[in-house]
Every structure is written in structure tokens, then in C-alpha cells.
Amino acid sequence: MARSAKQINNAPGIAAATFVVVAVLLAFVGIGLRVDALSGLGPAEWQAIRFTILQSLLSAFLSCALAVPVARALARRRFWGRTFLITLLGAPFILPVIVAMLGLLAIFGRSGVFNDILAMLGIAKISIYGLQGVVLAHVFFNLPLAIRLLVQGWQGVPAERFRLSAQLGIGPGMMFRLIELPLLLRILPGAFALIFVICLTSFAVALTLGGGPRATTIELAIYQAFRFDFNLGRAGLLSLVQLFVAGGAALLAFCLVPSISFGGGMDRMQCRWDGQQGRGAKILDNAFICVAAVFLILPLLAILTSGLRGLVEVPLIVWSSAWTSLWVALLSVLVLLGVALPMAGWIASSGNGRMEIIGLLGLSISPLMIGTGWFILIYPYANPADWALLVTIAVNAMMALPFALRILVPSIRDTIQAYGRLSSALGISGFAMWRCVLLLRSRPQIGFAAGLTAALSVGDLGVIALFGDPDRSTLPLQMYRLMGSYRTDAAAGAALILLLLAFGLFWIMDYWGRRNAIAQ
Amino acid sequence: MKYSTFAAGVLTASSAFAESPILTVYAGDYFTSEWGPGPVIEKGFEEICECDLQFSTGDLVPRLLLENKRTKADIVIGLTSDVTNKARSTELFAPHGQDNGALTLPIEWTDETFLPFNYGHTAFIYNETTMGTPPASFDALLAMPDDVQIVIQDPRTSLSGLALILWVDAVYGEKSADVWAQLAPKILTVTKDWSSSYGLFTDGEADMVLSYTTSPAYHMFAEDDFTKKAAIFSEGHYFMVETVGKIARTDQPELADAFMSYVMSEDFQTVIPTANWSLPSALPTDQWPEGWAQLPLPEKVLFYSEEKSTAVQESAIETWRAALSK
């Protein structure tokens, strides 16, 4: 087996993984230091746990199920502006939740565009508030991620496979069974686990669109235990529950992933003969693309229009916060790549995909708990405010890690399987393997992962609010402050700046990855 | 050699700082923002104290409980009376040393530890152009048709949300569960914090929002918008007061005392209305900024002492949660 040849050093990967585990453990140690008594969970907490799992399952299932036809259509069709559309469809995922929520409500809310149209047609209004609202919002956020992961998977299939299928006269049905089904089996479980965990820690959106306390999630219960009751024992216990639910789901998902590869190819442009057969397929594909585009882009337009109105009222300080957010995002990307690349290399070459669960740790523990745990540890020795930005950068990188791994691991695994033997024969290993083979082959994935991290750090409020340094603030924090002092128009303007900054960073890095990339 | 130059630099720098002592004030995040009262207060106090006032932001009570005896705070500003009990239990605070008799609150204040610096009342805000006849009492609100949709905050995550359930408890007592059941269909949704609720209201998503009696003032004086009004209820409104406290182990006792008297000064009190969009705690009505005295305010004020508030909080939250979870 080519795999058994030791081509990349696993030590940096294991070190990076250890770093993540230690960072999470330290947070629990910090909290553990201050727990007086462990108290059990009451009926309200159990209700929260049940609701959290239900809405996360539904959201993850729907996001994945809807992503399949859309991603398939996008992979099969070639049209003007396709690449831009794929990038734009990714935008909802990188939006800060509160901005996205206002955008969604402008379309699907009680006085939103959608209900206005229904009213004009004389149809009864629909209500977004309830479980359906929570799921709608989570699908809005996560459908883009699922689409992107799938499109990337499809693009990774060597063009020769499709060419051969066409030569052999394999029809769409058979092609689905032979190529696309294995592909879906390889990508969907991981995507499902990732989205499940994201929805698990949702809180403000779930509460607001869920219509009230019925939609209490574990994260809200943690927040309440910490802020209102100051019951660190209960908060810590709930965090553990959250961690175990996330870990369990991830373990199941990654066990389902078959380790198959499509092998290497000649990097020709993919041509999908199957997509050109039959008008029905074409119409269906176009319909899927249109519906998804309308669903994902309309709320963005709402944010754009209200933001443009507020832009003139945006005070100068917001721009300096945007600058802070920008370099925090860039540093987060550097930290992320420093951790994610060696980890992805280790996971991909060890052939044990389950280790990817470590990446999910950072996402499944509540940021409030990470922040608090570290605060307790730092406080006796230093002023936490001095550490605020450093901690924010570290937490941002940790939150983005599972996404980066999900994006990088399959590509690096394929590269090792396809080029490992040749590299061994040529005596390429270690750092040279990274430089000459892995980094080049995975450039689109690295660009995508870096862009995602940058955008997520720009949009995330993170833990900075906990550490309390009033002089250094990030853009989301400044936006919340505007909202908190009645300046809703200016806040909408700040939200637009935030959206453009996040999207711009994402676009630049993603473009860098795809430009001149060896594998298109 | 390099190191000694560096050390000399550090030493001179720190001695330069040593000339102006630092007063560390813990405050909520909203307080210190560009648009909050923090910057004005900092400037005002530094003019008279020959010191450097530094804010440190965060969740006040959890932070004090975490830091405990090691807290670096000299002053803590922004504790509402619904959380002062927990703050007091840290035994970190010293008597405020000011004359409670100088306060102009609508209730009697006897606390010697926490000193009120501003106040307001919970109220539902409506838009005059879309709601012709607002409810004149809580009963009238309950009797309104269910297509009137209000948005409130979660008492488990927001202090104004907590004030609402105490308000309902103060008006209806034992019958609170029924009241919540009647109110439930009118509640469009519950948000995590005040700002999301208010955003939903200004976006036209909700007819009324749980906010403060002073909210219309922002629209009137900052935006020239006279359409946003507070519905004044005959049963009375829950009183919300924010206080400031002095840390007993402060290393700047004189400065801390000076700050406490600054809070009671006319300088401080006159900036409160337009800087914090709330009412000053020690300023006669005739000295309020122009137009403020005309703001419709409730005649009857409902207030729970911190003991009473602490005693009923848990069961009131559970009543609320159970009624709205159905």
C-alpha cells in the first residue's frame, strides 16, 4: 500500500490536534476550579436538550437534502456567471446571525415581502415564528455550506470518469449509481455532522424565530445558568451535554464515510455529457438553481437596501473597528492554517477519518464557556482585556477548524492516494511533499478554507465582549452597540459594511485558490 | 545595553503614568460605547479629578463573582436593583457615602450601598401612525384582539425581560399564569436582548415592543420623530433603576469617593437624559433638559425591593416559561 509509506511527518498534525484538545480542556479546567456544587438538570433543561436535538436534526437533514439537487445542477450546468453565483450562494453562511435574521424577516416576516405578496393574492399569511422558522433560518445559513462542499466534491471527480461514462453510453441513472452516489456517501455524512453541530449551538436565532421559550436551546440554558443564576456547575454540565451530543453525532457520521477515492486524472475540464441529454433534466436543473438562488439571495438584497439607507449615518469609529476586524480576521486565517494544514495532513495520511472529530470540539463547546474558562485561568496572572484580541483570534481559528478540515481532508487524502506512489518513487517527502504536491493540489481548498475563516471571524462576535476592553472593538461589537443605543439605521449601515468586508475577504481568498489552480 | 535602555524607557513611562492615578470603573458594554453616557462622564470627571478614568466592560455580576476579592474595579456602575442582591452577596462593596435624601426618585430609596444614578420604567412602545387607540391599562392590553402583536425579551437573558415578568407579578400576583396564557397569542416572539426586540419594532415587524417609558425621548430629541409613544397603564409601571457602587478594597478610596459625589452632581445628572436616554436620579424635574418634563410618565410606580425581587424571580420565570411553552 502506498499509504504505508511515510510521506508526511505526522508530528506537527498531532501537535496541532493536541493544542486544540488542550485549549478546550483548559476551559473546562478553568470552570471546574470555580464550581461549588454540581446540580442536576431540571425539566426545563431537558426540554431544551430535546428541542435542540430535534431542530438540529431537521435543519441538518433539510440542508443536506436540498443541497444535493442544487449542487448537482450547478456541477452539471455551465452558464455565464456560474462561478460568481456559486460564490454568492455562499454568502448567507458567513453572515453574522443577527444581520441574517433581519434579512430573513424582511422577506419572510409578518410584514415581509413574501407575506405582502400572499396578501395581494388573497392567500392567508404564513408565520415564520415556530419550529418552521428556526429550521428555515438554519437552512438559509447552512444550505450554502452543504452546496459548496458538494460542488467541490463533484469538481474533484476526474473528468476522465465522465468521459469514460459517455463513451460507454452510461445513462444518468447508472451514472448516479456509479459515480455520484459514492461521492454523496463520501461527503454528506461529514456535511451533516458539521451542520448538526452548528445548529446545536444556535441560540439567538432559535429563540427569536422559534417564537419564545418553546425554542430554548442548550446554549441559551448555558447562558442563563451562567449570567442569571451564576451556576457554573449547571453551565459546565450543560456544556458537557452539548459536547457529547455533538461528539456522538460526529462519531456516527464519520463512521459512515467510506474511504474510497476516484483516483487521479489528467486535470482536464469536466464535461458532463449526461447533463445534455433530455430537456427534462435541463429544466429541472435550472429550476433548482433558480429556487435556491432566490431563497438565498433575496434576504441579502434586503440587507443591502436597508444598509445603503443607513450607510450615511455610520459614525467614523465603525470604520476603525472594521480595520480591527480586518486584521483580526487575517491573523485568524494564519493561525487556522497553522493548525488545520498539519492536522488535515495527519488525518488524511493516517486513514483514520474519525480524528476529524477533534476539529469539531472547538465548535461544539459554547464560546461563552471557552471565554469564561480562559478568563478564570488568565485573570490571576494578567489583565484579560490585554488578551482580548489574542483570545478572539484563537477562538475564531478554533471555530473555523472543523470547516477547514472538512474542506481539506478529502482533497489531501485524494492527492496522497493518487500521487503518493509517484512521490515516493521520486523521493519526495516531508516538507517537500507539502510544498511540491499537497499545497499545489489543494490550493482551491486552502483558498476556500481561508476565505471561510476570514469571513467567519469578521462576522463573529466571539468572546471579545466577555473580556471587556472598551477601546478595542470589532465590527460586530460596534454594530451591537449601535443597535443597543437606538441607532438601528446606522446599525443596518454597519451590517452592510460587515457583509461587504466578510464577503470581500471570502471572495479574494476563494478566488486566489481557484485562479490558475491545477485542479478545476 | 539594549535591555537597560528598554528598562529605562519602561520606568520613565510608568512614572509618567504614576502622576495621574487610575480609577477603574466596571460598566456594561452599552455604557462605554461612543453613543452611551461613558465618554461624557469620563471627560467630565477627569476635568475635576486629575486622574485617569478607565472603563472596563463586561457582564457586571458574573464578572464580579469570578474575580471576587481580586477584582481590579474601584467603582461598578450600571447594576439594576434586580441584580444588586447578588452583587451585595460578594461583600465587595462599601457604603456609598452620599445623602439618599438628595435623590429625586419616585420611590423612597434607603440603600446605603448602591446609589441610583438613573431610572426609567418598563413600558410598551407603539407607533401612533399604525395604532390609533393604544391600551390604557394592562387589562386593556389583554383584551385586545390577538392580531395585535407584541415583542418582548427573555427574562433569562435580558434585564428588561426580567423586569416585565416582575411587572406582571406586581400587577396580577397569583393570576400571573392566566395573564401569560392570555398574552401568549399576542406575543409575536421573544428575543435574547432589548436591541433585537427594538429592531423588530422599528422594522415594522411588531405593533408594540417591551421597552422603557423614556424610549420615545430618543426618537423625539434625536430624530424629530414624534410618532413613537409609550402606552401608559393605569395599574402602574415597573420601576427600573440603575445604581453605582464603590468597591471596599479600592486602592483609590479618595478618587472613588470623589466619583460617588460626582454622580450626584448637577454636571453628571444633566448629561444622563440625552446620554443614556433615561431619567436622572437626583435632579428636580424643572432642571431636566428642555422637553423632558413633558414626556408622559406613569403616575403609579411598582417596585420590588431586591429581596422581594430575588425571592420571586425563579418562580415568576418558571410561570412565564410554562405558560409560553404550551
d(CA A125, CA B149): 14
Q: What pLDDT is stored for residue B14 in this prediction?
A: 41
pLDDT at B145 over 70: yes
In this structure, are residues B182 and B146 in contact, taking their beta carbons and an 8 Å threshold? no
CA distance B153 to A380: 35
pLDDT score recorded for residue B225: 92
Interchain CB distance below 8 Å, B202 and A488: yes
Task: Look up cell 455604557; give the residue.
Answer: B31
CATH 3.40.190.10 in chain B, residues? 2-119+241-294, 121-239+299-325
- Here the cell at position A322 is 472594521
* Percent with pLDDT over 70 in chain B: 94
CATH 1.10.3720.10 fits A45-263+279-307, yes or no: yes
What pLDDT is recorded for position B47? 92
- Torsion (CA) B90, B93, B99, B103 in degrees, nearest 10: -50
Chain B positions in Cβ-Cβ contact with residue A226 (cut-off 8 Å): 62
pLDDT at B25: 94
The answer to whether residues B209 and B57 touch, using CB atoms and an 8 Å cutoff, is no
Model confidence at B107: pLDDT above 50: yes
Q: Where are the beta strands (DSSP E) in B185-233?
A: 187-191, 208-212, 228-231
A518 burial type by CB count under 10 A (0-12 exposed, 13-18 middle, 19+ buried): exposed
Specify the pLDDT at position A472: 72
The residues that bridge with B151 in the sheet, in sequence order, are: B189, B209
Could you tell me which residue, B315 or A517, shows the higher pLDDT? B315
Separation CA A389–CA A469 (nearest Å): 9
Per-residue pLDDT of B11-29, as tens digits, reads: 334 444 456 899 999 998 8
Instruction: Say whether A45-263+279-307 and A1-35+312-520 share the same fold.
Output: yes
CA distance B200 to B165: 20
**Cell representation of residue A12:** 506537527
The predicted pLDDT at position A5 comes to 46
Cβ proximity of B205 and A109 under 8 Å: yes
Contact predicate A392/A456, CB 8 Å: no
Provide Rg for chain B, Cα atoms. 22
CA dist., res. A469 & res. A388, Å (int): 7
Half-sphere exposure of B231 (CA within 13 A, CB side): 23
**Structure confidence by residue, pLDDT tens digits, A437-495:** 777 778 888 998 999 899 988 887 766 666 666 667 888 888 888 888 888 888 889 99
Domain boundaries, chain A: 1-35+312-520, 45-263+279-307
Q: What is the pLDDT of residue B3?
A: 43
Cell of A240: 458537557
Let me know: does B122 contact B138? Beta carbons within 8 Å: no
**At residue B196, what are phi and psi to the nearest 5 degrees?**
-65, -40
Angle (CA) A366-A372-A376 rounded to 5° is 150
User: Residue A475: what residue type?
Assistant: L
A 228-247 → B contacts, CB under 8 A = 228, 230
Q: Does A379 touch chain B (CB under 8 A)?
A: yes
**Statement: residue B231 has pLDDT above 80:** yes
Residue A260, pLDDT score: 57
CA dist., res. A358 & res. A250, Å (int) = 10
Q: Which of residues 54-73 of B touch A (CB under 8 A)?
A: 55-59, 61-63, 65-67, 70, 72
Q: Give the mean pLDDT of chain B.
A: 89
Residue ranges in chain A modelled with pLDDT below 70: 1-7, 37-38, 256-278, 351-353, 462-471, 516-520
**SS3 assignment for A306-330:** HHHHHHCCCCHHHHHHHHHHHHHHH
Q: Considering only A389-393, B150-154, B166-170, which range has the smallest mean pLDDT?
A: A389-393
Residue B12's pLDDT is 39
Architecture of domain B2-119+241-294: 3-Layer(aba) Sandwich (3.40)
- In terms of DSSP bridges, do strands B301-302 and B237-247 run parallel, antiparallel, or are they unpaired? parallel
Q: Which three cell numbers stand for residue A86?
A: 456559486
Q: Which residue of A has its CA nearest to B321?
A: A213
- Reported as a pLDDT band with limits 50, 70 and 90, residue B245 is very high
Q: How far apart are CA A241 and CA B116, in angstroms?
A: 41
pLDDT recorded at residue A249: 84
Buried b (16+ CB within 10 A) or exposed e, B189-219: bbbbbbbbbbbbbbbebbbbbbbbbbbbbbb
User: A213 is written with which cell numbers?
Assistant: 421559550
Nearest residue to A302 via CA among A120, A502, A504, A102: A102
Residue B227, C-alpha cell as written in the block? 410618532
The rounded distance, in Å, linking the Cα atoms of A169 and A163 is 10
Report how far Cα B271 is from the mean position of its chain's Cα atoms: 15
For testing contact with chain B, the best of A208, A306, A478 (most B CBs within 10 A): A208
- Taking the C-alpha atoms of residue A483 and residue A439, their distance in angstroms, rounded to an integer, is 43
**What pLDDT is recorded for position A465?**
66
Is residue B40 within a helix (H) or strand (E), and if so which, with residue range? Answer: helix B38-49
How confident is the model at residue B9, as a pLDDT?
40
Q: Which superfamily is assigned to B121-239+299-325 in CATH?
A: Periplasmic binding protein-like II (3.40.190.10)
| Contacts B29 to A, Cβ<8 Å | 465, 468, 470, 477, 480-481, 484
**How many A-B residue pairs are in contact by the CB < 8 A criterion?**
153
Give residues with Cβ within 8 angstroms of A211, minimum separation 6: A129, A130, A133, B187, B188, B189, B190
Q: What is the pLDDT of residue A262?
A: 60
Evaluate if residue B150 carries a pLDDT over 90.
Answer: yes
Q: Which of A238-252, B164-178, B256-270 has the lowest mean pLDDT?
A: A238-252
The helix-helix angle for A488-514 and A97-108 (nearest 10°) equals 110
Count of beta carbons in the 10 Å neighbourhood of residue A11 = 10
Region B292-315 average pLDDT? 91
Instruction: In whole angstroms, give the CA distance from residue A497 to residue A315.
Output: 12
In this model, does residue B232 exceed pLDDT 90? yes
Of the partner residues A109, A213, A376, the one whose CB lies closest to the CB of residue B205:
A109
Is A1-35+312-520 a CATH 1.10.1380.10 domain?
no
Residue B5 predicted with pLDDT over 70:
no
Q: Does B163 touch chain A (CB under 8 A)?
A: no
Distance from the Cα of A206 to chain B's closest Cα (Å) equals 9
Q: Note whether A468 contacts B56, CB cutoff 8 Å.
A: yes
Phi and psi based region of residue A200 (left: phi greater than 0; alpha: psi -120 to 50; beta: remaining): alpha
Residue B1 has pLDDT above 70, yes or no: no
